[in-house]
Structure formats: C-alpha cells, structure tokens
Structure 1
Amino acid sequence: MSHHLTQAVRDCIAACNDCATECGNCFSHMVGNESPNDCPACCIECAAICRLCADALARNSPFAKEICELCAKVCAWCAEQCAAHDMDHCQRCAEACRRCADACRAMA
C-alpha cells in the first residue's frame, strides 16, 4: 500500500528530528554538571520520544497520533526544564522542543 507523506507530516518529522538533535547537543553539554531541575535527564527522554515519533509518522503507524500526543507532552516538559538555564545550548534546545511540541499537537 502506498503512503504519501503530507507536508504537515514532513514538517512534524523535521521538527522531531531537529528536537532530538538539539536535545542530544544539550545533553552532551550538561551531562556531569549540576542542575537544579531535570535538565539534562529530560533531554534523553525527549530525544528518544522524538526519534520514535518521527519513525512512527514516516511509517504511518496506527499509533502515530498517540505517540505525537505523548511526544508533545515530553517536549513541553523538556522545554520548560531547559529554558530555565541561560546557556545557549539549553535555550536552543528549549526552542526546538517548543516547535516540536506545537507540530506534534497539530498531528494529534
């Protein structure tokens, strides 16, 4: 069966992949450093769900909407955690998380 990816799905996949990349970068800068909140642990959770979400959307998974819903929730949490830090990598991560959360909410 042929599956055509709409532009909205492609945009969501791109947002998920960008978010996972920024989360990985943030984690690599933060690991081993003291943090008063869940950064960098949130980055690992967020990157994992973003990769899963991108894959689910690409293969037209019957669970894509539910995965998008969870991805949006995790991204919103990670954005909140990372935005609390002044470092550029945390701010870039938070922004990517917000964009991904918005894109995933639109898919859910």
Structure 2
Amino acid sequence: MPNDLRPGTCRACEGGVQPLSAAEIDAALADLPGWIWRDNGLEKTFQFRNFYETMAFVNALAWIAHREDHHPDLQVSYNRCTVRYCTHAVGGVTENDLICARAVMALVQ
C-alpha cells in the first residue's frame, strides 16, 4: 500500500463506468484490512481516543473527498467514525471507491 494519500485518481462516474464484480471487490479487500463489502458498498469503522481525534479524521477525510470529488457517507460519534463508499451513480462499488478507501488507509497509518 502506498505511503502517500494519493494512491490513484478518481475519474468521472458518467460515461460507461460499471460497478466492479464480486471477484474484483473480494480481491481488493485483501489489501484493505477491516473493510467489509455490504449493501453494494465498502465500509469500515475507525475508533479514536476522543471527539477531537474523530473530528480531525473527519476533516482530513473531507479534504480527500474534495480533492477526488468522490464523497463517502459518514456516521460520526464521540470516538468513532464509520466510512462508507458506494458510487451511487452506478449503484455499486467502482475503482473510485477503492482509490478513496486506500487513501483513508494511508491517512490512518
């Protein structure tokens, strides 16, 4: 896994982008520890020591989402944040979701 926060670049979801197959998603999950594939999306819950750390993570995630123009669904509470990626335009997981999940993993390493 790359050590930078730019493990790829998202591309526009219009124009023939298709969801990844189950085999492609399963193979990708081997390099994304703790991420699960559920309800046509990828998700992982991150634990933190306090609200400040949680919000710092959320703000860093917002920067990644803005840069890639690909935005996760977030569930935020005091000491945890669940991140969920799904390309709603195609109703499933695309390479963009994997790129962003990898960037999140690089962020927390």
Higher relative contact order (CA 8 A, sep 6+): 2
Higher strand share: 2
**Is the TM value for this pair above 0.5?**
no
Higher helix share: 1
